[in-house]
Amino acid sequence: MLYHLYEAQRSLMEPFADFAQAASKLYGSGAVFGQLPMAQRLAAGYDLMYRLGKDYEKPEFGIKTVKVDDDDVVVQETVAIEKPFCQLRRFKRYTDQPQVLQKLKQQPVVLIVAPLSGHYATLLRDTVRTMLSAHKVYITDWVNARLVALSEGEFRLNDYVHYIEEFVRYLQAEYGNCHVISVCQPTVPVLAAISLMASRGEQTPLSMTMMGGPIDARRSPTAVNNLAMNKSYEWFENNVIYRVPESFPGSGRRVYPGFLQHTGFVAMNPDRHATSHYDYFKDLMKGDDASAEAHRKFYDEYNAVLDMDADYYLDTIRTVFQDFELVNGTWDVQNPQGEQERVRPQDIRETALLTVEGELDDISGSGQTRAAHELCSGIPANNHQHYEAKGAGHYGIFSGKRWRDRVYPEVKAFIEAHDQPQTRADSSILASEDTVKPRKPRLQAAARKASPARKTAPAKKPTSATRSSSTRKAATGGRATRTAR
**Which sequence spans correspond to the domains of the chain?**
2-55+270-302, 65-237+307-417
What are the CA-CA distances from residue 321 to residues 88, 128, 162, 404, 444 (Å)?
Answer: 27, 29, 21, 31, 46
Closest CA to 359 of 394, 318, 308: 394
Q: Would you say 141 and 112 are in contact if contact means Cβ atoms under 8 Å apart?
A: no
Under a CB-based contact definition with an 8 Å cutoff, are residues 176 and 277 in contact? no
pLDDT (tens digit per residue) in 248-291: 999 999 999 999 998 888 887 899 999 999 999 999 998 899 99
| pLDDT tens figures, 289-312 | 999 999 999 999 989 999 999 999
pLDDT, tens digit, for every residue of 85-138? 999 999 999 998 898 999 999 999 999 999 998 899 999 999 999 999 999 999
Q: What is the pTM of this model?
A: 0.84
Q: How confident is the model at residue 32 (pLDDT cuts 50, 70, 90)?
A: confident
pLDDT tier, 462 (very low <50, low <70, confident <90, very high otherwise): very low
C-alpha 371 chain-centroid distance: 22
Exposure string of 283-310, with b = 16+ CB inside 10 Å and e = fewer, is bbeeeeeeebeebeeebbbbbbbbbbbb
Find out if CATH 3.40.1410.10 is the number for domain 65-237+307-417.
Answer: no
- Tell me the residue length of the chain: 485
Mean pLDDT of 188-201: 98
> What gap in Å lies between CA 142 and CA 115, rounded to an integer?
8
Closest alpha carbon to 406 in 360, 373, 358: 358
417: number of Cβ within 10 Å: 14
Q: How far is CA 218 from the centre of its chain?
A: 25
